[in-house]
Structure 1
Amino acid sequence: MKKSLPSQVRYLLFICVLQWPVFLANGQDALQEYLETLAPDTELSFLIQGAEGEILAEYEPDKRVPSASIIKIPILLALLEAVEKEELSLEDRYRLRNQDKVGGAGELQFEPDGSLLTYRTLATEMIRISDNTATNILIDKLGMERIQGWLNERGFTATQLNRKMMDFAAIEQGKQNYTSPAEINRILLMLLDATSVSAETAASARQLLTACADRQTLPALLPKNLEVAHKTGTLDYVRGDAGIIFGKRALVVSVFVEHFQEIEDAEKIIAEIGRLAYEIYGR
């Protein structure tokens, strides 16, 4: 006679199923099965879309989350818009000052005062290794209001640039930068359809995002030769990645994990979702 599961086990399985009511297209369930292996208290939000914006899988896609360095994607696009309007050139040079330098990610904080840096270099380093000094210089050049205006004009409400990088005084005042999986995906979709931005801006942004050196999240379990244009973000309480996976079918994917015990745990979750997205929908 077949024995039933103990009541405690049945209860835990029931709670896990309730915890991950993910929408899946085409009857695919491998992603659902993976999510059901996660601890019920895992704080996760993600969105997987096709190149036309069709939703393939989602979990709390409208949740507003601290953006960490993923906010650097709209900063990049605001910069490229200024270049397109011929307000500046990526070959223009900026003279580095001591007061520009901030800690955290990046190498420009170690460059000598007076070093001449092109805006192309600043944009490249902001994305490649998430250089905070480069980011703050670009925020000052463009103006925080202009960057937020770029977002507001396009209907973004969850995505907000409220402080510069490493601004601990602003953080103590409760100022934080935010986004959501749905909004950062919509920004990335602009780089595929090139209707909300020019084809040149879209191509430049994709090229820069492809050079992101942080490979611990979405690209970690993907084929090594697969192109991924993405930007990661890390704070003590959030690890995220948002990007375009250029498989046989292009996918736009953003994943955020919050309040994890170990950052490696969050990275593994993001990497597994990236792998499953590609294997189910992208190849």
Structure 2
Amino acid sequence: MPVAARPVGAEQVHTVLSEIFAQAGVEGFVHARDLDTGAEFGHRADDRVVLASVFKIPIVLEYARQTAAGQLDPAARHTVSAAYRSGGSGTDGCRYDVEMSTRDLAFMMMTISDNAATDLLLDIVGIDRVRALLDGLGFTGFGVSSCQALDDDIRSELGFAPGSPLDDQLAGVADGRLLALGVNDPARSPSSTPREVTALLAAIWQDEAGPAPACAEVRSIMSQQVWQHRLVSGFPERGVRIAGKTGTDFAVRNEAGVVEYANGSRYAVGVFLRSSRPAERQPYVDRAIGRAARVVINHLRA
């Protein structure tokens, strides 16, 4: 029987989630909340999880708040230089310097998880301001970092030269060493809980995380994320809108976002998975994120 068609009592939901995660070979942590009624459901929702690029959500929020307050020019030009590029999506993989606006740095950071754009934008808005924002909103346990700092930690742990290219060197590292890296450990990497992540999303979607124009800009940018293989995979029908942010790092596969139905009902959901393999391509794991999100949202809708 398809997962979505099975009974949706709370204990049954936990059972189905455990089955989904076992089939994918992962540990799973989930939280979802109805943004209009406040109803919620969690599966290990208060365990700490590695955020990976999900930590970019408060960075784009701080960008939007500073822009709305007139403290930051969204059209100002900035150069993504070699100092920020280490290889990856978007400008992070460009061979030569790229110039773009402040707003487009935020856009690239959220839509394709561009790490170089992230670090430049974080320098512009200030990591101290992002930390103060999170603390002021009550999300004191929500971690944040530059991508470069995380890469430097990897180099240090593996004995690579500072600033050296990571991708080619990582190819020769045994899986066990990759899984033991600090970026996979919520005690040593930016982390939070699934419940705290959906609370942040709820604050953004309910215009409680800043001025309404700032929250609206974050929602708009997040709705344009390009990745369709995780959260979106659980909601293939027309008329369902999804805004989200993925996170990936060796054993970590995440996505957090908001699912909105044609009738206006809205659900913040975060699915955080820890795989036993550091492989770059794990389609069954990615698909488990969409399946798990669908199960818990179906439960709340029922």
TM-score (normalised: structure 1) = 0.82
Structure 1 pair 95/272, CA: closer, same or farther in 2 (3 Å)? same
Query: What is residue 68 of structure 1 aligned with on the other side?
Result: 52
State the shift of 1:234 in Å.
0.6
- Quote the Cα distance in structure 2 between the aligned partners of 1:88 and 1:43: 41
SS of structure 2 residue aligned to 1:215:
coil
State the shift of 1:211 in Å.
0.5
Instruction: Give the aligned CA root-mean-square deviation in angstroms.
Output: 2.4
> For structure 2, which runs of at least 5 residues remain unmatched after alignment?
1-7, 158-181, 183-187
Matches within 5 A, 1:219-230: 219-222=232-235, 223-230=237-244
Matches within 5 A, 1:87-126: 87-110=71-94, 112-113=96-97, 115-126=98-109
Structure 1 pair 149/185, CA: closer, same or farther in 2 (3 Å)? same
- Quote the Cα distance in structure 1 between the aligned partners of 2:49 and 2:298: 27
Query: What is residue 260 of structure 1 aligned with on the other side?
Result: 276
State the shift of 1:102 in Å.
2.2
- Quote the Cα distance in structure 2 between the aligned partners of 1:99 and 1:272: 39
Pick aligned residue for 1:192 from 205, 209, 218: 205
- Quote the Cα distance in structure 2 between the aligned partners of 1:209 and 1:165: 23
State the shift of 1:199 in Å.
1.3
Query: What is residue 128 of structure 1 aligned with on the other side?
Result: 111
Instruction: Give % identity.
Output: 24
State the shift of 1:230 in Å.
0.6
Matched, 1:232 2:246: yes
The more displaced of 60-69 and 48-57 is 48-57
- 1:40-85 per-residue CA deviation (whole Å, 9 max, x = no partner) reads 9842111010004724320121222111110010110011111122
Matches within 5 A, 1:46-61: 46-52=30-36, 54-61=38-45
The more displaced of 258-267 and 182-191 is 258-267
State the shift of 1:225 in Å.
4.0
One-letter identity of the residue aligned with 2:13: L
Query: What is residue 272 of structure 1 aligned with on the other side?
Result: 291
One-letter identity of the residue aligned with 2:217: S
State the shift of 1:204 in Å.
0.7
Q: Which runs of 4+ in 1 moved over 4 A?
A: none
Query: What is residue 151 of structure 2 aligned with on the other side?
Result: 168
SS of structure 2 residue aligned to 1:140:
helix
Query: What is residue 192 of structure 2 aligned with on the other side?
Result: 179
- 1:150-172 per-residue CA deviation (whole Å, 9 max, x = no partner) reads 11122212211144347422344
TM-score (normalised: structure 2) = 0.77
**How many corresponding residue pairs?**
257
Matched, 1:154 2:137: yes
Q: Which has the higher contact order (CA 8 A, sep 6+)?
A: 2
Matched, 1:207 2:220: yes
Structure 1 pair 145/203, CA: closer, same or farther in 2 (3 Å)? same
